Structure 1
Amino acid sequence: MITSIKWRNSLIAYTLLARPMVLIGIVLVYTVGSLIARALGTAYDFTAFGVGLAALLLVSIGVDYANEYADVETDALTHRTLWSGGSGVLPQGSVPQHRVLFIARLLIGLGLLTGLLATLSEILNAASLLLLIIGAVGGWVYSMPPLALAWHGWGELTNAVLGGLVLPLYGYTVQTATLTADVTLACLPFVCFIFLNMLATTWPDRHADAQVGKRTLATRWSAKHLRLLYIFAAILSYAILAALNSTLPREVLIASVPAIPLIVWAARGYTRGASPIATVIAMSTLLTLQMAAWFIVG
């Protein structure tokens, strides 16, 4: 009985470490990339989609574990929310830290091996494998040495590029085996939204981050300058959408409009409260509606 409870608690702990809400977002963004390929005329390959997703999830869970390992000190000090402050598992001591790091390396290795074998089997392709490798390496150095980008003021931009550009392009290339400039440009507005989300989710952790030497933008910039950066990134996202009006499907442009009042609401509250929920809602709305639009176009 005691052993059964121990196994159950361990399973719950390792599941929470994987940040399920983050993984759901990763699956959705990956799906958007594949739907873009479908909308542009590529025959949808469900086998490639499934294998590509399996490799992606292995890498993503490994990266999440590495991030939790790197942030254990700051997560022990901060007030956790659903979207910030980590999972809270490692500071509680419910699982050994060294084991989490080992599993992180193992999962990333298995994910890359899956991608390689699938490429050799011609289920995936060289372009998608390259993007999977970029995502794995970028996700690792985001929080881990030797670069630990999130600790030196580059985490917000790195996360935005990985999640808003590399990830949907990975989903796209799994289906097409090629990249185009138009598809790359189509991802840029969402890059801006993920950057906004990073600004919002690092704000509640700023005091804890500062105490342990994690130099996020929220620890280095004043609230006024952060708000200006937030507004600039929000305007830039829609300026890019406007510039792409002749290349993006009309349905995608229209689907992006409802997020405007939400991001205005989020901007008004940024740095004036601790919760990042307004920005999360705005980003999730843009993602969901654009995904639906690409599905309709296809």
Structure 2
Amino acid sequence: MMRPAQMLAVALVYALGGVMARARGVTPEMGTLLWGLAALWPVAAGIHYANEYADAETDALTERTPFSGGSGAIPMLGVPRRLALRAAWAATILGSLVALAGLAAGTGTVFSLVILGLGALFGWMYSLPPLQLAWRGWGELDNALLGGFLLTLYGFSTAAGYVDFRVALAALPFTLLVFLNLLATTWADRRADAIVGKRTLATRWPPRRLRRLYLLVAGLSYALLLALPNVVLPSPVKSASLAALPFLFWGSLTYTRRRQPLPSVAAMAVMLLAQLVAWWYAGG
């Protein structure tokens, strides 16, 4: 029920927060970073399993791509749906216990524990009651804030022991590209989502309006990238982030015109990898 690429992406965004801390003069302790990852991975797995449980009907109807449509374990392999929910609870409880144990041992921090807790809560609320944000047109924003913004802050706070307002600002350009990735992946599932009543933006808005939103968010991402002062976003990070532009342009041409979300996924991945390297370089 798990996509290994998603867990790798979680680890890389977590690492982005860690290298941001290094660039701010923090010398992260390996034990602390490993504790943070050991708590994060089960929580992220729990969120994924919860979504597999909630989206079983959609996944049974949609045509999967490498980036959308769930893992396929429930509709294709016959995995019992209730097993996904039990696995979600087990993984989330495990991650919570690891986080609390780290805090008790002095390895973790209250900041990182609170951020992880918020991530778990709104990760579950993405597709499950009482909020079911993905069913009400708020899922794309929720998931972008979790996967781009909160996860970066979690990596930073784990490494540094505090939260820096400058890091929150620095995470915004990447967070906006995560949002575009979600627009593209939900577009691929829009027909199945509409049938089961899942009201994503792709099922609520016409294609022309969605394309305008895509261009607006893409423009805002790079406007922020250029406008943020170097003390927030160092010049090497700004320059490296430009590597995602060709893929973003490709995505703007194909979004809502083709089902495959690859261009937008690639833009997000390229910016993530480019910023990882650039933040490490900025740290000297």
Identify whether the pair has TM-score above 0.5, normalized to the shorter chain.
Answer: yes
Question: 1:94 offset after TM fit, Å?
Answer: 2.6
Q: Choose which of 255, 267, 271 in structure 2 pairs with 1:282.
A: 267
Paired with 2:70 and 2:7, the residues of 1 have a C-alpha distance of: 13
User: Are the counterparts in 2 of residues 245 and 253 from structure 1 also a CA contact under 8 Å?
Assistant: no
Paired with 2:89 and 2:239, the residues of 1 have a C-alpha distance of: 42
Matched, 1:208 2:195: no
Q: What does residue range 99-248 of structure 1 map to in structure 2 within 5 Å?
A: 99-247=83-231, 248=233
Gaps of 5+ in 1: 1-16
Paired with 2:73 and 2:241, the residues of 1 have a C-alpha distance of: 36
The more displaced of 112-121 and 208-217 is: 112-121
CA RMSD of aligned residues (A): 0.9
Question: 1:242 offset after TM fit, Å?
Answer: 1.1
Paired with 1:294 and 1:107, the residues of 2 have a C-alpha distance of: 31
Q: Choose which of 35, 38, 61 in structure 2 pairs with 1:77.
A: 61
1:109-146 CA-to-partner distances (Å, cap 9, x unmatched) read 11011101101111010000000100110111111111
1:42-67 CA-to-partner distances (Å, cap 9, x unmatched) read 01211111110011000001110000
Paired with 2:251 and 2:196, the residues of 1 have a C-alpha distance of: 28
Paired with 1:97 and 1:266, the residues of 2 have a C-alpha distance of: 34
Matched, 1:66 2:66: no
Paired with 1:68 and 1:96, the residues of 2 have a C-alpha distance of: 11
Question: 1:97 offset after TM fit, Å?
Answer: 1.3
User: Are the counterparts in 1 of residues 3 and 71 from structure 2 also a CA contact under 8 Å?
Assistant: yes
Question: 1:161 offset after TM fit, Å?
Answer: 0.4
Aligned residue pairs total 282
User: Are the counterparts in 2 of residues 200 and 270 from structure 1 also a CA contact under 8 Å?
Assistant: yes
Q: Which runs of 4+ in 1 moved over 3 A?
A: none
Paired with 1:92 and 1:275, the residues of 2 have a C-alpha distance of: 21
Paired with 1:99 and 1:281, the residues of 2 have a C-alpha distance of: 32
SS of equivalent to 1:59 = helix
Paired with 1:180 and 1:61, the residues of 2 have a C-alpha distance of: 27
User: Are the counterparts in 1 of residues 28 and 160 from structure 2 also a CA contact under 8 Å?
Assistant: no
Matched, 1:258 2:238: no
- Using the aligned pairs only, state the percent identity: 48
Paired with 2:227 and 2:97, the residues of 1 have a C-alpha distance of: 39
The more displaced of 55-64 and 243-252 is: 243-252
Q: Choose which of 234, 239, 253 in structure 2 pairs with 1:268.
A: 253
Paired with 1:152 and 1:122, the residues of 2 have a C-alpha distance of: 40
User: Are the counterparts in 2 of residues 251 and 297 from structure 1 also a CA contact under 8 Å?
Assistant: yes
Paired with 2:170 and 2:22, the residues of 1 have a C-alpha distance of: 15
Tell me the TM-score normalised to structure 2 length: 0.98
Tell me the TM-score normalised to structure 1 length: 0.93
